Structure 1
Amino acid sequence: MGGCLSVLPWGQAVTQACNSLFGDGNYIHMMKANLEALEASMQTLRDRRDDLLTRVSIEEDKGLQRLAEVKRWLARVESIDSQVSDLLTTKPAEINRLCLFGYFSENCISSYEYGKEVSKKLEKVKELLSREAFGEVAIKGRLPKVEQQPIQKTVGLDSMVGKAWDSIMKPEGRTLGIYGMGGVGKTTLLTRINNKFKDEFDVVIWVVVSKDLQYDGIQDQILRRLCVDKDWEKETEKEKASFIENILGRKKFVLLLDDLWSEVDLDKIGVPSPTQENGSKIVFTTRSKEVCRDMRADDELKMDCLTRNEAWELFQNAVGEVRLKGHPDIPTLAKQICEKCYGLPLALNVIGKAMSCKEDVHEWRDAIDVLKTSSDKFPGMEKKILSILKFSYDGLEDDKMKSCFLYCSLFPEDYEITKEELIEYWISEGFIKGERNEDGSNNKGHVIIGSLVRAHLLMECEKESTIFESGFTRAVKMHDVLREMAIWIGKEEEKQCVKSGVKLSFIPDDINWSVSRRISLRSNQIKKISCSPKCPNLSTLFLGDNMLKVIPGEFFQFMPSLVVLDLSRNLILLELPEEICSLISLQYLNLSRTRISSLPVVLKGLSKLISLDLEYCPGLKSIDGIGTILPTLQVLKLFGSHVDIDARSIEELQILEHLKIFTGNVKDALILESIQRMERLASCVQCLLIYKMSAEVVTLNTVAMGGLRELYINYSKISEIKIDWKSKEKEDLPSPCFKHLSSIAILALKGSKELSWLLFAPNLKHLHVEDSESIEEIINKEKGMSISNVHPPDMMVPFQKLQLLSLKELGKLKRICSSPPPALPSLKKFDVELCPMLPKAAIREFQRHEQE
């Protein structure tokens, strides 16, 4: 027994032995049992921690933030886990020291301390395990203080950022006005300021204000930024102001207002006035120093063009090093062109990017000559800069393309013009021929749009659909300075008069109707027309998005050359005057979103009309006689109107021998079959709404409706949707699918358990499925396999080009597809709401693809 004891003084040894047997010294005897209990308890704690982390991860994927209590518990578990792991590293050595059935140790003091530490850790682990399961693990997080704005590399702005920052941060500063000419970089400076904020304020809010000042639009941007849960979009302007004031009144905020054209009444919006006491700030950009005065800015910052060295650096960045080294003379020529940009960042970027594709030195020399001859004609800084911007316009290959570009300036500022809409205008004006592909598209129109985009005269964008959340339509828009340049050019070269989006309540007297070729009064508040103009040269007239109820007949009497008439979005326009038949040259008539209830017989006088838009006309219930009244129609749009295609309508449509594009609504399955049997008519269908249809089986033919682009199925009861690709006239089919179908929206569909037929739309970009109680899966594995066994490989993997997937209120949905797709390279947005049976793992997988 003596060999088991350390050498100690006799009294101390006796005391130690007694304690080891009877007192607190049982830490030695209990060491083995405590170690086993500690290891088991620690593993249980780890399992509970992992389960909790899984729950937290699911909630955080929804945008929620974990509770502080959860954070603390997980931190304590992490700490004790580390301590226990360290403690267990010496377990073998301590166990080996035990002797005499575990009551003694070769080193009693060391084993006593070790056993005591094991006991303490065991108590801490038990304490953590004793905590009841968390009911709620995450809540909606605090509002992010700053939303970073995307920005490219800037040149020459550092000192301006410093000046602006000093002005904002000084205690007595309340409102900062940044002013300067268009294209000088005010928005870029404001972006730099936005991105510099960290924790100085409770919230930083970015708002874009356009020339057509809309208070509710500003309020909506603020409320979206503040993440207000309440459904405020339906509230009045006054109620929105109350919400905003209630929230911002309790915060130290910064409001950044970009592109002010006139004074903004902050009280009307609901924004509390910034004071030294509340510490809030307002920063805005404008082209007018007068706006700084009207906004009572206590500090103003003028933005000038770049210095020569800064301009050269920015121009080099835009052109690119490779192009500048393409020929020994190019750097010298590039500096000459750069000097002609007068240090205007927009001009430097636009012209620099235009020159980036010029490889031949002769192209650079020609550019110098063009710039020299053009600039001298326009005295004054702004006109010189417009003439510089005009260089990109002058570089367009022909007059037709130039006319196409100038036509875009007829639309309001920041207006997103859908590509197909724009091409229809161009065709009617005669800029391009009306030749169309099998899907109704016009190649030349898209070529011109591509050229204008590459010349940086138009910007590509995606216009959000107003139908559910079915996705986006390809569109273009103009930078506001380029639009001003186009208006300036168009006034002289094309005799265009543009007064769109400027809040007119009547048609102004200063319009020279006798010489104007195109007039845009779109997006105003015009309620009444009281003039009878003589317009021998007028070819386009935009009166859409106004408040017209009646148009007097004499207004149309003297417009013999008019080819485009847009009256869309006059929501209370009830009828057309008989004198509209005087428009003998008219080719394009847009009456969409009006309350037109019938087609007047006098339209028969419009013998050249090729495009008629009647979409979303709730009062229109019949198109009787259209085949004989308008036999030359190539485009007829009825989608969203109250015209349901029936047997009589089909007879009318069959008479339209030149029809190339058709959009419409059908609720009878037999009528849908009839349409598909008439291949000439079916091939024209681009957008189809199937609604209130009741049928066991509905068949869609990919050959007959080969031009289908958008499909909507609403409030229908259909057990199965089948796809047919057989054709009597076409034997060799390259692909049995809807190759142009890009948007599908399904709302309140009953009967169907799956939507595997979507595999026949391999180019699908936008899919929205909502409130369809019977759907259990989107793509069924067995049906998907049967399709892939017969058809091409590109139909085997779903959603390869999908950009938007929205699934809402699908109570029985269990699967999107049998296994997650290997890649979703195009997915930009994935929304899931009220789909309780859809596994969280599937949701996370799609969210991962969205993030990637």
Structure 2
Amino acid sequence: MGNFCSVSLSIDNLIPRCFDCTAAQVNSFRRLDDWLANLRTALEELKQLRNDVKTEVDVAERQPMMKRLEQVQGWLLQVESMETEVNKLIANGSQEIDKNCYNRYKLGKKVAKKIKDVAALKSKGDFEVVAKRLPSDIVDIRPSEPTVGTESNFSKIWGHLQEEHVGIIGIYGLGGVGKTTLMTQINNKFASPTNDFDVVIWVTVSSTVDMDKVQDDIGKTIGLHNETWNNKSLDEKAIQIYGVLSKKKFVLLLDDIWESLNLSQVGIPIPNEQNKCKVAFTTRSEEVCGKMDAQKKVKVECLPWEKAWDLFQKKIGDETLKSDPAIPGLAELVAKECGGLPLALITVGRAMAYKQTPQAWKHAIKVLKNYAVRFPGMETKVFCPLHLSYDSLPSDTVKSCFVYCSLYPEDSLILIEDLINKWIGEGFLNEWNDNEDGAENQGYDNIDTLLQACLLEKISSDKVKMHDVIREMALWIGREYEKQTDKFLVRAGGRETKAPEVSKWKEVKRMSLMVNKIERLIGTPICPQLTTLLLNENSLKMISSGFFQYMHALKVLDLSMNRSLVDLPLEIGELTSLEYLNISCTKISRLPVQLQNLVNLKILDMDYTKCDQTSIQVISGLSSLQVLKMIDSVFINNEALVEKLDALKFLYYLSMTMGNAFVFQGLKKCHKLQSCIRYLRLQFFSRCITFNISSLQFLKCLNYLNVSNWDDCEDWVIDWTVEGKEIETSNNPLDSHIKNPPSFHSLRTVIIMGCRRLKNVKWLLYAPNLVYLEIMDCSKMEEVISRDEWMEVAKKGKISNPFAKLESLYIQYLPQLTSIYHSPLPFHCLKYLNVRECPGLKKLPLNSDSAREHRTVIAGSKDWFDKLEWHDEATQNAFLPGSQILQGGLSVQIA
């Protein structure tokens, strides 16, 4: 067997040599050159046909919605592959042409076969049609520019779109803040291959809803817009739209909604968990989100400084930034004037892109600070679009209230209560005839309207702020747009040391000189139209005689925070139109009797003025007074003073300080004052061992309670009695019993200071609407609310979740304190927790669910913070990024 195999192999090796000697093979050798030439020719013809087909394909695909056929694309790829193979074969042929007969023979066979393959491929390239029209794309990609700082909001919105139970999403925020940019990103994201929706529809709605246009845009996207479409009624179009969309999984993106849009009337099936459809819309109004039944709302805020500066640098460019060493610093000042508003940053950035001298940048800063409307592009590209938000306000009253906010300095925090009182004084709010606090309620409603329109920003429960660019727009409206250039004089928050010259007051209607350094008001300005004069937070020492002589129309006068002002000029009594007067935080110690001539005065704020008790006699003569604020002003320590205040017929708001337990008890006889007291400070109550906190509940409107310096008080008790059972009353006037559990629903702020024997404040369980709590310098307090106290109170009656609305909690100088609350609390609203000098407080009532979905800042010393015992690791991880430590007396962010 082995020998046979060996012989066979030898014979096989001899066969090619035998082929070398045949006449047929000799002939094929001679033809190899011709075959290679023929192959080159065949390939060239195939390439020419390929080029003709590609030209037809390119022409077809230039037309909308046309795409090459798959068989055409496949043939083109085959030609490309064939070209590669043929070129390689030809190259090999050139190398093998002079080798032995057998190699030439094998090459000839390959060339002959490849000629046939090329011919066959060429025959398949005869296409009658090379492209076909496609159905509408699922989504039309919209043009967009690179963005800065949108990542967080984009992730939030996209996340909501993935939630099955969320069908409608509202995206709201200030005009120019980037809502449409975000919506464009969302639209384009749906073009990804992972998208499982049938169609994505984009509709720009704009300020005036055109139902025809809305339906037309939808109809075009879903293929309904034909020759007969325009002849159909709105109802007929709605039926057709509904007929198509009810069979599809769709996304509807509505951009720039100003009022609620009835989806059913348009023909849109309402999104739900069954159809899995989505509707997302952008609006400037939070109110629209509610009216559109948005299940999720996302507010788009202005950019933080780092992102704003990044965007601004991109717009001005490196060349300009590097053109002069001074420009980067000046550019930062310019960027800060834009307040993080993308529209303003882009507009100003583009205008400054080629300004390469420091002088040009300094000029820009001056213009933006003093009269921004004159900056290139600001009026047309920023103020005019923002003005639409002003136009959409529901009434002239709200518009006037909005413009009035621009009287406050840039970046100032505006006390809502004080702002509303000024509106009342100006006469914007006029519902006094309905009920005594009707104007106040209307004011809060106007605040809500401006907040929902994103024309004001809410800072806390009692403060708002106006964005710098919005303020400039409001000033523009007040000065120019409403043709009141000479009637609206605002020099607030500057460095003015003198009031404007008397000659400039003549045509002014509203003047704001607040937050300056003016020391003297001299002369006798003649200003018959002046209704508001704001001089608060200056350095006033003297107001000359005759200064107010010709201000007969003046309604609002604010002199507060002038800590060197000791007297009011006697002719203030000639301001008979005056309705609002604020002299708080001054050194005025006595009200002149001439003040009684102010028969229209509705609001008098004299908090922290330290006036003597004779001022009560002057106040009692103010027959129209409705709001009286006198915290730490006139010290109420006898019943006669209380009776004079109780006699004020129209009074509905009173803040006061009491220093006598029996005078406080006497309030029970003053039914008028019981319903008026909003802010009460009780201090220096001596020889009071226990205090029945339940006795406060007869003050139904009490919002603010300040208790300070009760050195003797050990306990604030709550009395529990059975309904209808006769109870003996204690000899202590502050220890009277009640029949029902107490209720402190109106309380928003509680401050407890210097009650050194007080051990707990368990009564706060009955203050469910508490927003601000401060406990300070109570050296015996061990627990704010203990578990035993909670269980005792819980047995007596139903209590709500404590601190459910608390935003700020200050715990300071409580050396014995070991606990705030016995278990973790949700703290849905908590923004700030400040702990100082409480070494025994080792654990906070927090877990990983506390303060979910918003940032809570914990402030305290580093030594205290490092020793905290957390509920679990998840809690520590949740709060560590938002905590703060105190270093050198300053609160700094922990990285």
Q: Normalising to structure 1: TM-score of the pair? A: 0.55
Change (3 A) 1:497 1:810: same
Partner SS, residue 759 of structure 1: helix
Q: Tell me the equivalent position of 1:477.
A: 465
Q: Tell me the equivalent position of 2:386.
A: 389
Cα distance in 2 for residues equivalent to 1:171 and 1:582: 58
Q: Tell me the equivalent position of 1:355.
A: none
- 1:773–1:810: 8 Å Cα contact kept in structure 2? yes
Cα distance in 1 for residues equivalent to 2:310 and 2:835: 45
State the AA in 1 paired with 2:449: S
| 1:720 maps to which of 715, 719, 734 | 715
Cα distance in 2 for residues equivalent to 1:288 and 1:551: 49
State the AA in 2 paired with 1:497: L
User: What pairs with 1:677-696 in structure 2 (closer than 5 Å)?
Assistant: 677-694=669-686, 695-696=688-689
Change (3 A) 1:164 1:760: farther
Q: Tell me the equivalent position of 1:780.
A: 786
- 2:636–2:659: 8 Å Cα contact kept in structure 1? yes
Cα distance in 2 for residues equivalent to 1:535 and 1:497: 12
Structure 2: where are the runs of 5+ without partners?
Answer: 1-301, 366-371, 725-737, 846-867, 883-895
Cα distance in 1 for residues equivalent to 2:354 and 2:541: 40
- Cα deviations across residues 416-453 of structure 1 (Å, max 9, x unaligned)? 11111111111111111254989898221122112112
Change (3 A) 1:154 1:769: closer
Q: Tell me the equivalent position of 1:550.
A: 542
Cα distance in 1 for residues equivalent to 2:507 and 2:739: 53
Cα distance in 2 for residues equivalent to 1:184 and 1:430: 33
| 1:533 maps to which of 525, 529, 534 | 525
| 1:825 maps to which of 825, 828, 837 | 828
Q: Tell me the equivalent position of 1:737.
A: 743
State the AA in 1 paired with 2:519: K
Q: Tell me the equivalent position of 1:405.
A: 402
Deviation at 1:758, TM superposition (A): 1.2
Deviation at 1:162, TM superposition (A): 10
Partner SS, residue 461 of structure 1: strand
Q: Tell me the equivalent position of 1:490.
A: 478
Work out the number of aligned pairs and report it: 524
Partner SS, residue 631 of structure 2: coil
State the AA in 1 paired with 2:830: L
Change (3 A) 1:286 1:721: farther
| 1:583 maps to which of 549, 558, 575 | 575
Q: Tell me the equivalent position of 2:143.
A: none
Cα distance in 1 for residues equivalent to 2:511 and 2:477: 14
Partner SS, residue 428 of structure 2: coil
Q: Tell me the equivalent position of 2:661.
A: 669
Deviation at 1:551, TM superposition (A): 1.2
Deviation at 1:568, TM superposition (A): 0.7
- 1:563–1:585: 8 Å Cα contact kept in structure 2? yes
- 1:636–1:662: 8 Å Cα contact kept in structure 2? yes
**Larger-Rg structure:** 2
Cα distance in 1 for residues equivalent to 2:338 and 2:572: 47
| 2:699 maps to which of 688, 698, 705 | 705
User: What pairs with 1:163-202 in structure 2 (closer than 5 Å)?
Assistant: 163=317, 175-178=328-331, 187=340
Change (3 A) 1:725 1:528: farther
State the AA in 2 paired with 1:629: G
Q: Tell me the equivalent position of 1:293.
A: 358
State the AA in 2 paired with 1:416: L
Cα distance in 2 for residues equivalent to 1:288 and 1:523: 34
- 2:338–2:344: 8 Å Cα contact kept in structure 1? no
- 1:585–1:608: 8 Å Cα contact kept in structure 2? yes
State the AA in 1 paired with 2:716: I
Cα distance in 2 for residues equivalent to 1:747 and 1:702: 18
- 1:544–1:569: 8 Å Cα contact kept in structure 2? yes
Change (3 A) 1:773 1:560: same
| 2:421 maps to which of 421, 424, 427 | 424
Cα distance in 2 for residues equivalent to 1:538 and 1:773: 53
Identity %: 32
Deviation at 1:581, TM superposition (A): 0.9
- Cα deviations across residues 321-373 of structure 1 (Å, max 9, x unaligned)? xxxxxxxxxxxxxxxxxxxxxxxxxx9xxxxxxxxxxxxxxxxxxxxxxxxxx
- Cα deviations across residues 215-245 of structure 1 (Å, max 9, x unaligned)? xxxxxxxxxxxxxxxxxxxxxxxxxxxxxxx
1:804 aligns with 2:798: no
Cα distance in 1 for residues equivalent to 2:776 and 2:437: 28
Cα distance in 1 for residues equivalent to 2:522 and 2:312: 55
Change (3 A) 1:181 1:387: farther
State the AA in 1 paired with 2:491: K
Cα distance in 2 for residues equivalent to 1:743 and 1:604: 33
Q: Normalising to structure 2: TM-score of the pair? A: 0.52
State the AA in 2 paired with 1:293: P
- Cα deviations across residues 38-66 of structure 1 (Å, max 9, x unaligned)? xxxxxxxxxxxxxxxxxxxxxxxxxxxxx
Cα distance in 2 for residues equivalent to 1:697 and 1:188: 55
Partner SS, residue 523 of structure 1: coil
- Cα deviations across residues 457-506 of structure 1 (Å, max 9, x unaligned)? 222213xxxxxxxxxx5222222222122112212535322121222211
- 2:324–2:358: 8 Å Cα contact kept in structure 1? no
User: What pairs with 1:336-351 in structure 2 (closer than 5 Å)?
Assistant: none
State the AA in 2 paired with 1:390: H
CA RMSD of superposed structures (Å) = 4.4
Q: Tell me the equivalent position of 1:752.
A: 758
- Cα deviations across residues 604-645 of structure 1 (Å, max 9, x unaligned)? 100111110011114555533035421221111111335234
User: What pairs with 1:289-688 in structure 2 (closer than 5 Å)?
Assistant: 293=358, 381-385=377-381, 386-435=383-432, 442-462=440-460, 473-492=461-480, 493=482, 495-509=487-501, 512-618=504-610, 620=612, 622-641=614-633, 643-688=635-680
Deviation at 1:389, TM superposition (A): 2.6
- 1:663–1:687: 8 Å Cα contact kept in structure 2? yes
Deviation at 1:658, TM superposition (A): 1.4
Q: Tell me the equivalent position of 1:761.
A: 767
Deviation at 1:708, TM superposition (A): 1.2
Change (3 A) 1:190 1:692: farther
Partner SS, residue 554 of structure 1: coil
- Cα deviations across residues 186-206 of structure 1 (Å, max 9, x unaligned)? 8479999xxxxxxxxxxxxxx
Partner SS, residue 431 of structure 1: coil
State the AA in 2 paired with 1:392: S
Change (3 A) 1:735 1:421: farther
- 1:588–1:611: 8 Å Cα contact kept in structure 2? yes
Cα distance in 2 for residues equivalent to 1:167 and 1:763: 52
Deviation at 1:784, TM superposition (A): 2.4
Change (3 A) 1:706 1:177: same
Change (3 A) 1:764 1:555: same
- 2:624–2:650: 8 Å Cα contact kept in structure 1? yes
Change (3 A) 1:686 1:178: same
State the AA in 1 paired with 2:780: S
Cα distance in 1 for residues equivalent to 2:352 and 2:623: 51
- Cα deviations across residues 250-308 of structure 1 (Å, max 9, x unaligned)? xxxxxxxxx9xxxxxxxxxxxxxxxxxxxxxxxx99989999726999xx999xxxxxx
- Cα deviations across residues 637-659 of structure 1 (Å, max 9, x unaligned)? 11133523432321221121211
Partner SS, residue 639 of structure 1: strand
Range 751-760 or range 828-837, more displaced? 828-837
State the AA in 2 paired with 1:570: N
Partner SS, residue 810 of structure 2: strand
